[in-house]
Amino acid sequence: MSAAEPPPPLPLPLPLSGVLVADFGRVLAAPYATMLLADLGADVIKVEHPAGGDDTRAWGPPHAHGEATYFLSVNRNKRSVALDLREPADRRRAAELARRADVLFENFRPGTLHKYGLGYDEVRAANPGIVYCSITGFGSGPGAALPGYDLLIQAVGGLMSVTGSAPGEPVKAGVALVDVLTGLHAAIGVLVALRHRDATGEGQLVEVDLLRTLLSSLVNQSAGYTLAGRVPGIMGNRHPSIAPYEVFRAADGPLVIAVGNDRQFAALCRGIGAPELADDTRFATNADRVAHVDELAARLGELLAVRTAAEWFERLTPLGVPCGPVNDLAQAFALADRLGLAPRASVEGGDGEVLDLVANPISLSRTPPRYDCRPPRLGEHTGEIADWLDH
């Protein structure tokens, strides 16, 4: 670099730099939320029981570098302190951590942390500015004692009633989707509460539960019930309000067609060599196509069976028709790579290992997420954190 050239700019502080998060959460919803905050600069201290730590440390296979990939998926950029809340010294350290923290996350059954002097009222008395996020399965009222497992919520919350291949054959989502959605809502709630605290100096309690999160996330299906009294059922891969919007069988496997308007349908008809379908009175508008979805699907199925899914993707996509094959995860990551989306985040460990984690999907032009450290080993930072809390 010549003397005339300015030095490269220093990286900007991350948006949540200086925010201390006491993370008493376990398993998925709370750890996912706190990882998102950690990626954006928050100092997240993960509190774990010395005997085994977070349950997901034992949730394998699969494993990578001797650790469960489930745990590794939601705990990067954190420090781990091992505390047994039944022990007075550890309980005192936990209380001191809560007193110093900007944010506290917990997803115990309601009332559990109160037994250790770490409920919202106790923490607020010592730290009035605390943003205290409590994640439950069914809220803190009459449903407080109910266990909040994702599969259970998918069942009783209605998701499985609209998910499956046919009526009477409910199927869960392939991941703990309600936990992930709840973690996202919890992170949003905490950011809003921090914004309020910055303006007023006042902390608050943020409560998020899995059941209400699912009901909100069912969006059009939920609104169809609350506004029109319609109770939806299982439709397989079809959409209740749009057609064609489902999975068809191409020559070599499944193909998704996701037509959202009449223009796209006309383009689809041209692309598959049947432009007359767009003028058929049964299929002229979306409402017509929904009313005659079985007839439409049968005709499209005949036409789509003559080419492979990849051939249809190459032929229809340039015409503006949303379509594509049903990829497995390896193919999905390959697609994201081809599109330049950088779906992976490589994180170096202290012993030279490199973990290939999934990148934070939020892109920020000035303060993008960083991946500074791998998910911690159980109690890895207990010494340094205990010493800090004791002084």
CATH 3.40.50.10540-classified regions of the chain: 20-217+352-389
Percentage of residues of the chain with pLDDT beyond 90: 87
Question: For 189-208, what is the mean pLDDT?
Answer: 97
Cα 119 vs. chain centroid, distance in angstroms? Answer: 26
Q: Which two tokens stand for residue 169?
A: 């054959």
Question: For 1-18, what is the mean pLDDT?
Answer: 73
pLDDT, tens digit, 9 for 90 and up, residues 92-104: 999 999 999 999 9
Residues 246/249/252/255 CA torsion (nearest 10 deg): -10
Whether the per-residue pLDDT at 303 is higher than 60: the answer is yes
C-alpha–C-alpha distance, residues 305 and 324, integer Å: 14
Strand locations in the chain (E): 20-24, 43-48, 63-64, 67-68, 78-82, 103-106, 131-136, 204-209, 245-249, 254-258, 323-325, 344-348, 354-358
CATH 3.30.1540.10-classified regions of the chain: 245-325
Question: For 20-29, what is the mean pLDDT?
Answer: 97
Cα 359 vs. chain centroid, distance in angstroms? Answer: 12
Q: What is the mean pLDDT of the chain?
A: 94
pLDDT, tens digit, 9 for 90 and up, residues 337-363: 999 999 999 988 767 788 999 999 999
What single DSSP character describes residue 238?
-
C-alpha–C-alpha distance, residues 221 and 224, integer Å: 5
Question: Please, how many CA atoms are within 13 Å of residue 31, restricted to the half-sphere of its CB?
Answer: 24
- Which has the closest alpha carbon to 78: 110, 109, 105, 118? 105
Strand locations in 143-244 (E): 204-209
Whether the per-residue pLDDT at 7 is higher than 90: the answer is no
pTM for the full model? 0.91
Tokens 């229809």 locate to 316
pLDDT band at 144 (very low <50, low <70, confident <90, very high): confident
Give CA angle at 67 (65, 69), nearest 5°: 100
Strand locations in 49-142 (E): 63-64, 67-68, 78-82, 103-106, 131-136
Question: For 186-195, what is the mean pLDDT?
Answer: 98
Question: For 95-123, what is the mean pLDDT?
Answer: 96
Percentage of residues of the chain with pLDDT beyond 70: 97
pLDDT given for residue 145 in this prediction:
86
C-alpha–C-alpha distance, residues 202 and 228, integer Å: 40
Spot the catalytic one: 54, 90, 150, 179.
179
CB 144 within 8 A of CB 111: yes
CB 257 within 8 A of CB 325: no
Question: For 113-141, what is the mean pLDDT?
Answer: 96
Phi-psi map region of 372: left, alpha, beta (phi>0 left; psi -120 to 50 alpha): alpha
Residues 260/261/263/268 CA torsion (nearest 10 deg): 40
Is-cis flag, bond preceding 142, omega within 30?
no
Superfamily of domain 20-217+352-389: Crotonobetainyl-coa:carnitine coa-transferase; domain 1 (3.40.50.10540)
90 is catalytic: no
Total length of the chain: 391
pLDDT given for residue 5 in this prediction:
72
Question: For 57-77, what is the mean pLDDT?
Answer: 94
Whether the per-residue pLDDT at 41 is higher than 80: the answer is yes
pLDDT band at 9 (very low <50, low <70, confident <90, very high): low
Whether the per-residue pLDDT at 11 is higher than 80: the answer is no
Whether the per-residue pLDDT at 131 is higher than 70: the answer is yes
Question: For 228-243, what is the mean pLDDT?
Answer: 92
Whether the per-residue pLDDT at 216 is higher than 70: the answer is yes
pLDDT given for residue 12 in this prediction:
79
pLDDT given for residue 2 in this prediction:
52
Q: Characterize the bridge pairing of strands 43-48 and 20-24.
A: parallel
Architecture of the 245-325 domain: 2-Layer Sandwich (3.30)
pLDDT given for residue 65 in this prediction:
87
pLDDT, tens digit, 9 for 90 and up, residues 250-287: 999 999 999 999 999 999 999 999 999 999 999 999 99
